[in-house]
Amino acid sequence: MTEPMKQATQEWFALLDRKEDAAALDLFSSRIVPLLLDRLHERFRSDHPNRPHGGRYDGLISLLGYTPDTVILAARFAQPRSLVVLHTPETAPFLEAVRSHSGLSHDTLRAIVFDKSSMNELRRAFDEGMGGLAGFSDVAVELTGGTKPMGAVLHLAAAARGVDTLYIDYAQYDPRHRKPVPDSTYVRLLETGPQDLPRSDPEIARALGSIRSSVTQALLQVNGEDLSREATRVLLEGIVADLDRAEVAAAPQPPIHGHGRQGKRE
């Protein structure tokens, strides 16, 4: 860890200790994020050499949880021409912080609300967000915020659309402040498989069929989120429906040029 990063991190933790959340977020955005960006891009390019844009995307859909840190970092990392923030009524109060610290002009950001009790609502919000990004060459979904079921729905919905899924991960966690150690963070590209294969390859349909079956069986065992029987059913049906559409889309057809691109497919 460099001395400037060490000093900024210590000051950030001190502000969090004093419950000065606004000042802590300002320090995170103005001092810590700029120190992170070059290393985040360098690692992303090294980990994912098949992404020539190096982590910069024309369009970004980001899931807002109860802290705006990850949305802000994702926006500064991706530098999108358009940012769509998916949020619930409960997380709406954090939108202003995203607008203030994302480094983007206010007319670049669009917020779409959804009901957290419905996975179909989340899929509706995602589809609405994708509709606003039609024609963009490189689109990604960042799903660090929100719950695990929300992340699962967005990840598979993104795979069905052929766009990248990003997750802000870390190697070290500070349990006292319940925050990742900033210098240990990195941006992961969550692999799904379908967008990395030629769309004209008939093997995709068989692969997706197997994926659908495996995901369905795994999600039947979800118990960490205290989901009701009905919520679990809706989650599973939504994911299977997304994979059904992906399987149909993956049937042999004229190839679409480009890698992992959403383009004007929808």
What are the sequence ranges of the domains in the chain? 3-194
Answer whether residue 70 shows pLDDT above 60. yes
pTM of the entire predicted model:
0.72
CATH of domain 3-194: 3.40.50.10770
- Beta strand 82-87 pairing with 109-113: parallel
Give every CB contact of residue 19 below 8 A, 6+ residues apart in sequence. Answer: none
Give every CB contact of residue 223 below 8 A, 6+ residues apart in sequence. Answer: none
Mean pLDDT of 10-15: 96
Q: Are 185 and 168 in contact (CB under 8 A)?
A: yes
- Beta strand 185-189 pairing with 139-142: unpaired
- Percent of the chain whose predicted confidence (pLDDT) is above 70: 71
- Percent of the chain whose predicted confidence (pLDDT) is above 90: 50
Q: Record the tokens describing residue 172, joined without a space.
A: 């070290």
Mean pLDDT of 111-131: 91
Q: What is the per-residue pLDDT for 231?
A: 64
Which comes out higher in pLDDT, residue 149 or 19? 19
* Range from 41-45, 47-51, 91-95, 245-249 carrying the lowest mean pLDDT: 245-249
Mean pLDDT of 124-144: 91
Answer whether residue 206 shows pLDDT above 60. no
DSSP-assigned letter for residue 255 = P
Give every CB contact of residue 248 below 8 A, 6+ residues apart in sequence. Answer: none
Mean pLDDT of 175-200: 74
Mean pLDDT of 229-244: 65
Helices of type H across the chain: 3-17, 21-27, 33-47, 69-78, 95-101, 119-131, 148-161, 203-219, 229-249
Whole-angstrom distance, CA of residue 253 vs CA of residue 110: 34
Which comes out higher in pLDDT, residue 1 or 132? 132
- The average confidence (pLDDT) of the chain is 80
Mean pLDDT of 98-103: 92
CA distances from 61 to 83, 138, 166, 167, 174 (A): 6, 12, 10, 12, 27
Answer whether residue 125 shows pLDDT above 70. yes
Mean pLDDT of 176-198: 76
Q: What is the per-residue pLDDT for 73?
A: 96
Mean pLDDT of 76-92: 95
- Which span out of 8-22, 50-64, 123-137, 221-235 was modeled with the highest average pLDDT? 8-22
Which comes out higher in pLDDT, residue 53 or 244? 53
Mean pLDDT of 177-193: 86
